[in-house]
Amino acid sequence: MLKRPWIVWCLVLIQCLCGAYFLWEILASLLGLPSVPLRWSLRELVEAGASIGLIIGAILGVRLALVAQNATHRAENARRITSGEFATVVERYFQGLDLTSAETEVAWFVLKGMSLAEIAELRSTRIGTVKAQCTAIYRKAGVTGKSQLISQLVEDLLL
């Protein structure tokens, strides 16, 4: 519905017309002005339309609030990345994956483009250990390899 703004504008127009009718009826009874006579079936239709419009309006309001909240979150991430807080944003991403401290360290080395042998040497561990940690990282991230991990990280951070 949000991708078709004309629907939203039609709903707003219907709500405004129904609201104007109800307001006129109230003012007419209070001030003694002439009211707009409607048959009972048409009046029921107007009331049902107004009620449905209010409910749909509330649902759309919640949906728009969620969209705005997501957009704010993405904008805040972009601001952090561009303001030199890339490491902080990536750390939060790794925390979201629930990586252990060793897996986080290996993930950083993977992001830097190091080979398994280089990572094992830097961490003073065996290549098999690094392979197992990489497998755990990829599984937690829902990817199958280094390039997909980097691609997903960039996509999640920028989108």
Domain span holding position 32: 5-82
Same domain, yes or no, for 128 and 98?
Answer: yes
Looking at the structure, tell me whether residues 92 and 128 fall in a common domain.
Answer: yes
- Please identify, among 31, 60, 82, the residue that sits at the C-terminal boundary of a domain: 82
Q: Are residues 113 and 150 in the same domain?
A: yes
* Tens-digit pLDDT profile for residues 66-117: 988 988 888 887 777 666 677 877 888 898 899 999 999 999 999 888 999 9
Together in a domain, 76 and 104: no
Q: Are residues 77 and 95 in the same domain?
A: no
Q: Is the pLDDT of residue 20 over 70?
A: yes
* 145 lies in the same domain as 120: yes
Q: Judge if 50 and 112 occupy the same domain.
A: no
Between residues 60 and 157, the one the model is more confident about: 60
pLDDT at 149 over 60: yes
Q: What is the pTM of this model?
A: 0.50
Q: How many H-runs (helices) and E-runs (strands) does the chain carry? A: 7, 0
Contact between 110 and 146 under an 8 Å Cβ cutoff? The reply is yes
Burial of 157 from C-beta contacts in 10 A (0-12 / 13-18 / 19+): middle
76 and 97 in a single domain? The answer is no
Residue 47: band (very low, low, confident or very high) from pLDDT cuts 50, 70, 90: confident
pLDDT tens digit sequence for 61-80: 888 889 889 888 888 877 77
Q: Which of 32, 54, 82 is the last residue of a domain?
A: 82
Q: Is there a contact between 38 and 46 (Cβ–Cβ < 8 Å)?
A: yes
Q: Is residue 109 a contact partner of residue 118, using CB atoms and an 8 Å limit?
A: yes
CATH assignment of the domain containing 99: 1.10.10.10
